[in-house]
Amino acid sequence: MQQELHTTPPKSPPVATRKFRILIVDDDEDSVDLLAKWLTMSGYDVRSAGSGQEALQRISQDRPDLVLLDLLIPPPDGLTVIRTVKKDRLMSTIPLVVMTVKRDVKSKVECLRSGADDFIVKPFHFDELDAVLRASLKKRYLYTSLERANQQLRDANEKLLKLTVTDERTSLLNDRYLRRRATEEFKRAQRYGTPLSLIILDLDHFKQVNDKYGHDCGDQVLRDFGRLLMANARTTDIVGRFGGEEFLAVLPNTDGIRAAIVAERIRRATEEHIYKYREFLMRVTVSAGVASYPANQGVASEGDLLKAADDALYRAKQVSRNRVILDRASMPADILEGDLSAIFKASYEDAQPLKDEPEI
């Protein structure tokens, strides 16, 4: 569509404070050339498209800061381009300024209802176009700045949330979050009558690691064990550091026997793992106490369940360490004394020390 301009471009137009990218969509080459020269002199980065199809491709690929759009263009027409852009979540915030010879109110209303951000009638003055562009670009800049600030806020909140639930040494869940989840899962188990088990794990003789090799080595062992724990737990288990060298696993919908099997898998993997710190190689074993609800009928709260698991851990430490003990009240009566080592055949007494590695 031939475009008429009431004035010639000013010799020294105001330079844009930021090099915005503008896409001109018009099939009249002379009009496009004239507009492109003036916008370029004004400090804009100018691109052009001669049809609706080319316009949609360029908008999708180049993400211009603003589109100057003639309605009467090769298909799809201008209105279709507007509706298509505004329906796309990634492109919908790009301002669309309509250029048209149509002066009637109905055409303007139709454009604005379709999603156009502004409307300018041909022929127009460059000063008029400049004012429209600056107003639309200001809105675009404010919107993108707000979106950027919102994204930074979301990222900061996500990091803050991660910090509030994460143990700084192991990057596992921390004790506060574990206690909260244990409470939530216990209430769910009570309501729906499903089993819930807890495993408390404690690294054996961990103090000797710190005393002999230093706290940096101890921290390395905690991190390595945390990774090993995650690798051997199930995806549905809630696992984290419970404090010091203790770790907790919350196992929803899991009875005591199945929980003890998970604990034994972790115990065995720990026993077989070689911890490396600088030039040192070492083995560290783990003991575990397991308790389950509702098998243990004396459990009335998550605190009771934690205590039952802790008591089982204490028994494991007393017996010999490096073993799994299932709370007596949480196990079938035919499992003697709650010691599952006879079933798993994985007593620490069967383990052979590695050659050429220091013992702790």
Residues annotated as catalytic (active site), given as ranges: 245
User: CA 68, CA 107: separation in Å to the nearest integer?
Assistant: 16
For tokens 């196990």, what's the residue? 331
Closest C-alpha to 27, from 87, 76, 96 = 76
What are φ and ψ of residue 98, in 5° steps? -85, 135
User: CA 266, CA 289: separation in Å to the nearest integer?
Assistant: 12
Q: 193: left (phi > 0), else alpha (psi -120 to 50), else beta?
A: left
User: CA 69, CA 83: separation in Å to the nearest integer?
Assistant: 13
CB 22 within 8 A of CB 48: no
Structure tokens at 280: 């040192």
* Pairing state between β 280-282 and 246-252: unpaired
- Look up residue 338 and give its DSSP letter: G
